Amino acid sequence: GESVGLHLPTLSVQEGDNSIINCAYSNSASDYFIWYKQESGKGPQFIIDIRSNMDKRQGQRVTVLLNKTVKHLSLQIAATQPGDSAVYFCAENSGGGADGLTFGKGTHLIIQP
């Protein structure tokens, strides 16, 4: 699989490989984090979330890792498929549920056959 140390606007991976998308968040008070997937012409779609009292959470083919020390979030997608092609955004919620989500810049994941 391919990983990126810093945010990249585009990540190209081979079908079947693992993908790692990174995100740096801004607010040390944020206590809730979400990864969204956005396909062309559609609104963002929820993938997985994690709260600040955890450092890892797994879903179906996806894993989110949270490193609060360096304010870093990553999304790992196992066995990447053509349908995974989309723009991926991380979002943070600074707490209380009353604030809006702050979104990262997004990474366009391109799947090569």
Partner 1 sequence: KAGVTQTPRYLIKTRGQQVTLSCSPISGHRSVSWYQQTPGQGLQFLFEYFSETQRNKGNFPGRFSGRQFSNSRSEMNVSTLELGDSALYLCASRVANTEAFFGQGTRLTVV
Residues in contact with partner 1, shown as a per-residue x/- string from 24 to 43 under the rule CB under 8 A: --------x-x-x----xxx
- Contact (Cβ atoms closer than 8 angstroms) between residue 2 and residue 61: no
Q: Under rule CB under 8 A, how many of the chain's residues touch partner 1?
A: 24
Among the residue ranges 15-23, 59-67, 72-80, 100-108, the one whose residues contact partner 1 (CB under 8 A): 100-108
Alpha carbon distance 95, 106 (integer Å): 22
Distance of CA 69 to the CA centre of its chain: 18
- Contact (Cβ atoms closer than 8 angstroms) between residue 89 and residue 38: yes
- Contact (Cβ atoms closer than 8 angstroms) between residue 91 and residue 34: yes
Nearest to 86 by CA among 33, 1, 19: 19
Of the residues 106, 107, 109, 111, which one makes contact with partner 1 according to CB under 8 A = 106
- Residue 81 as a binder of partner 1 (CB under 8 A): the answer is no
Among the residue ranges 56-64, 66-74, 78-86, 97-105, the one whose residues contact partner 1 (CB under 8 A): 97-105
- Residue 102 as a binder of partner 1 (CB under 8 A): the answer is yes
List of residues contacting partner 1 (CB under 8 A): 32, 34, 36, 41-46, 49, 89, 91, 93, 96-106
